[in-house]
């Protein structure tokens, strides 16, 4: 039952917000309206999945936003002007993330400190590549992100695809089970003959991959970049994972829930804009939504424990 609530509560929160938005702005109840509401959901969902990979192995990444910003700068400059070099740089960034995970485990360093320190490295590199806002999105990337599939907007189609792919990878595959085992019982994984350092590197490498995809999607939507374009994604990605039913310990994550959590946070931002709430208060309001859902989850968990 508790597993069911991990998905049910995020779904309910998303449905309530969507209903309230449709009530306040009936014009959004259309293909164009839904597309507008979830316009930035794709990069946020990808960043949330990336953060989920880190949380899955009992770590937390405080450099996610800076890393996505760096990727965006690379995409808007090198991938646009010199595609081969840009591709090599993006692959190098994914490998650097995997190396960071291995280093954290090998030296037994606190991930929260290492990733926070690396956020300044990512930010510095982003400023070096793009000192001021600019660059341009590759044409093929822009066309992909602004495409209009039949029946459902691109963001909704992408969210469904992300849910299926990550669910199969993390919840159904053998390697996904082992990766979750690193967060749940590291010693048991070691006794089974697995190399934890390589598993940590794999988890961080997957996080780097999805973070790179997030940066690419963001540039495809905004058509340009700057060194601070995705700094909010650090907290948004953590909130999305937790809102979607994940926990900071035990390897307990929900790929589908994480995507739903990202959609909920994206919709919350649009909803608060409709309410004409001061942008300075919007982050606080999003935090309040997260607290409400977590409170409801705790109440359901206590009720389940009593029965």
Choose the weakest-confidence range: 75-79, 184-188, 213-217, 282-286: 282-286
At residue 268's C-alpha, the angle toward residues 223 and 297, to 5°, is 130
Choose the weakest-confidence range: 1-5, 6-10, 101-105, 179-183: 1-5
pLDDT digits (tens, 9 = 90+) for 26-83: 888 888 888 888 888 999 999 999 999 999 999 999 999 999 999 999 999 999 999 9
The DSSP string of 239-256 is HHHHHTT--SSTT---HH
At residue 88's C-alpha, the angle toward residues 116 and 232, to 5°, is 30
CB 224 within 8 A of CB 63: no
Average pLDDT over residues 163-187: 92
Is the residue at 2 inside a domain? no
Residue 224 φ/ψ, nearest 5 degrees: -155, -175
Residue bearing the bigger pLDDT, 68 or 9: 68
pLDDT range class, residue 277, cuts 50, 70, 90: low
pLDDT at 85 over 90: yes
Is the residue at 46 inside a domain? yes
pLDDT at 44: 95
pLDDT at 49: 97
pLDDT at 292 over 90: no
Is the residue at 19 inside a domain? no
Is the residue at 5 inside a domain? no
Question: How far is Cα 37 from Cα 154, in angstroms, rounded to an integer?
Answer: 12
Range of the domain at 87: 34-306
pLDDT at 6: 63
pLDDT at 1: 42
pLDDT range class, residue 307, cuts 50, 70, 90: low
Question: How far is Cα 241 from Cα 259, in angstroms, rounded to an integer?
Answer: 8
Is the residue at 296 inside a domain? yes
The DSSP string of 257-306 is HHHHHHHHHHHHHHHHHHTT--HHHHHHHHHHHHHHHHHHHHHHHHHHHH
Is the residue at 11 inside a domain? no
- Measured from the Cβ of residue 78, the count of other Cβ atoms closer than 10 Å reads 19
CATH of the domain at 66: 1.10.3470
Pick the closest to residue 292 from 242, 232, 237, 234 (CA basis).
Answer: 242
pLDDT digits (tens, 9 = 90+) for 198-254: 999 999 999 999 999 999 999 999 999 999 999 999 989 998 998 888 888 777 888
For the chain, how many residues are written?
307
Is the residue at 147 inside a domain? yes
Residue bearing the bigger pLDDT, 137 or 9: 137
pLDDT at 272 over 70: yes
Is the residue at 18 inside a domain? no
pLDDT more than 70, % of the chain: 91
pLDDT at 34: 87
Average pLDDT over residues 84-106: 96
pLDDT at 160 over 90: yes
pLDDT at 5: 57
- Residue 75: which H helix or E strand, with range? none
Average pLDDT over residues 99-107: 95
Which residues, including other chains, have CB under 8 Å from residue 230's CB and lie 6 or more apart? 43, 47, 65, 66, 68, 69, 72, 214, 215, 218
Which residues, including other chains, have CB under 8 Å from residue 55's CB and lie 6 or more apart? 183, 238, 241, 246, 247, 248, 253
At residue 194's C-alpha, the angle toward residues 190 and 195, to 5°, is 90
pLDDT at 280 over 60: yes
Average pLDDT over residues 156-170: 94
- Measured from the Cβ of residue 276, the count of other Cβ atoms closer than 10 Å reads 6
225 beta partners: 134
pLDDT at 126 over 50: yes
- Look at the chain and report how many structural domains it folds into: 1
pTM: 0.92
């Amino acid at each position: 039952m508790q597993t069911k609530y991990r998905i049910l509560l995020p779904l309910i929160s998303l449905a309530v917000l969507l209903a309230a938005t449709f009530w306040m702005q009936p014009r959004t109840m259309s293909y164009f309206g839904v597309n507008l509401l979830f316009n930035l959901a794709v990069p946020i969902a990808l960043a949330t999945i990336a953060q989920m990979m880190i949380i899955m192995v009992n770590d937390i990444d405080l450099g996610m936003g800076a890393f996505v910003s760096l990727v965006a700068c690379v995409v808007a400059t090198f991938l646009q002007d010199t595609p081969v070099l840009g591709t090599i740089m993006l692959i190098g960034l994914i490998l650097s993330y995997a190396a960071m995970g291995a280093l954290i485990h090998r030296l037994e360093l606190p991930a929260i400190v290492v990733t926070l320190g690396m956020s300044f490295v990512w930010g510095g590199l982003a400023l070096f590549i793009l000192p001021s806002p600019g660059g341009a999105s590759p044409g093929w990337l822009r066309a992909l992100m602004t495409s209009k599939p039949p029946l459902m907007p691109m963001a909704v189609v992408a969210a469904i695809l992300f849910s299926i792919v990550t669910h199969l990878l993390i919840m159904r595959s053998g390697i996904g089970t082992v990766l979750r085992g690193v967060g749940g019982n590291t010693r048991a994984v070691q006794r089974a003959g697995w190399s934890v350092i390589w598993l940590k590197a794999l988890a961080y490498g997957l996080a780097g991959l999805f973070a790179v995809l997030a940066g690419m999607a963001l540039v495809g939507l905004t058509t340009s970049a700057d060194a601070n374009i995705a700094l909010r994604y650090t907290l948004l990605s953590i909130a999305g994972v937790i809102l979607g039913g994940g926990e900071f310990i035990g390897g307990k994550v929900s790929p589908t829930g994480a995507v739903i959590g990202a959609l909920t946070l994206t919709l919350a931002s649009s909803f608060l804009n409709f309410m004409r709430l001061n942008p300075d208060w919007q982050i606080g309001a999003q935090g309040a939504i997260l607290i409400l859902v977590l409170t409801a989850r705790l109440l359901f968990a206590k009720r389940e424990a009593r029965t």
